Chain A
Amino acid sequence: MAKVRGAIDVDKELCKGCGVCITACPTHVIELAKQVNGKGYNYAYMENPEACIGCTNCAMVCPDSVITVYKITI
């Protein structure tokens, strides 16, 4: 059976750490970093990258359009 793997690229300097992408992710991939970016926001990153299915949910709800989504079939 074909399996998919996804990955997201968050522009961490432009992320505002709002967290709405975390709620939108069905597979609990995303968390906010303990560190902050140049603006002082705890930015989003893939805490569980293996779980990403490339569904684009996170990117769709991101108000600042800073998430890019990639997907491969294996």
Chain B
Amino acid sequence: MAAIEIKDIIKKENLVYGKTKILTDNIMHYCPGCSHGVIHKIVAEVIEELGIQEKTIGVSPVGCSVLAYNYLDIDWQQAAHGRAPALATATKRLLPDHYVFTYQGDGDLASIGTAEILHACNRGENITVIFVNNAIYGMTGGQMAPTTLMGMATATSPYGREAALHGYPLKITELIAQLPGVAYVTRQSVQTPAAVRKAKKAIKKGFENQDKKIGTSFIEIVSTCSSGWKLSPVDSNRWMEEHMFKFYPLGDLKDSERNSEEEYKKYIE
């Protein structure tokens, strides 16, 4: 039997996985290995699989992912720091047949935007929130975030986070899960193929929940920031598994039984 050459395998008819068309050809500005790239990809794949490109509106934050609108070929708004849930509220109320999501970092969502996210979730806005928690302010050079772990060194906590000086890390996702307006809360990650599959499934469910009109879907993705953490991308993933997952355990925090707008109304009355 003749040996199989690579060029015999790399042919269009043998394709099993390639870049989704929802991603543009713009080169992402993210650092090598940054979780943002993987998360953009799975959001894009979900939009393609659901066939909702023309009906999806993203709201990008302030933070490294401020330029998300350059990478997914859908409609976008760009919010002032932390205000993405307010903008998403208006967008969804004006265009209720569209799929509206916010994409926010932990500095954006859990610090300057705490009020907006809590109230949008408490109002049960029918939107999907993608919360990228890398426990640091990546964009501005690695300052401490509300989500920074105890003992974790950052540019503004060089000796490590201390409770007496900096307060405790904020599990905002656990707070949000308490709110009646929220239908679905889950915490995922994207460092392994299995994790990517699960995170993608969660994001898909978050978008599908908008059809059911049952309240807010909130998906946290525990992420890395190798530049802020001062580790290689591979070591960052390992560090995240060892340290982040202990404090931010993966899995569903809430999956409400309600399946329709009627059930939701009954629930909140």
Choice from A20, A54, A55, A56 contacting B33 with Cβ under 8 Å: A20
* B3 to A, closest residue via Cβ: A50
Q: Is A12 an interface residue (CB 8 A)?
A: no
Q: Collect the chain B residues with CB atoms within 8 Å of residue A27's CB.
A: none
Q: Is A47 an interface residue (CB 8 A)?
A: no
Choice from B4, B36, B38, B232 contacting A5 with Cβ under 8 Å: B4
Choice from B6, B38, B193 contacting A49 with Cβ under 8 Å: B6
On whether the beta carbons of A63 and B15 are closer than 8 Å, the reply is no
Size of the chain B interface, CB-CB below 8 angstroms: 36
* B226 to A, closest residue via Cβ: A18
Shortest CB-to-CB span from B202 to chain A, Å, is 15
Within 8 A of A (CB), among B65-99: none
On whether the beta carbons of A24 and B193 are closer than 8 Å, the reply is yes
Q: What 1/0 mask marks residues of chain B from 1 to 26 whose CB sits below 8 Å from any chain A CB? A: 00010101111001111111001000
On whether the beta carbons of B28 and A20 are closer than 8 Å, the reply is no
Q: Collect the chain A residues with CB atoms within 8 Å of residue B213's CB.
A: none
Q: Collect the chain B residues with CB atoms within 8 Å of residue A9's CB.
A: 10
Q: Is B187 an interface residue (CB 8 A)?
A: no
* B16, B18, B34 interface centre (most CB from chain A within 10 Å): B16
On whether the beta carbons of A70 and B34 are closer than 8 Å, the reply is no
Q: Is B32 an interface residue (CB 8 A)?
A: yes
On whether the beta carbons of A72 and B8 are closer than 8 Å, the reply is yes
Q: Collect the chain B residues with CB atoms within 8 Å of residue A71's CB.
A: 9, 14, 16
Q: Is B196 an interface residue (CB 8 A)?
A: yes
Q: Collect the chain A residues with CB atoms within 8 Å of residue B190's CB.
A: 61
- Spell out A's residues near B (CB within 8 Å): 5-7, 9, 14, 16-20, 22-24, 41, 46, 49, 54-57, 59-72, 74
Given contacts A19-B233, A62-B38, 18 further A-B contacts (CB under 8 A): A5-B4, A6-B16, A17-B32, A19-B234, A20-B33, A20-B233, A59-B17, A61-B193, A61-B196, A64-B28, A65-B19, A65-B37, A69-B16, A70-B10, A71-B9, A71-B14, A71-B16, A72-B8
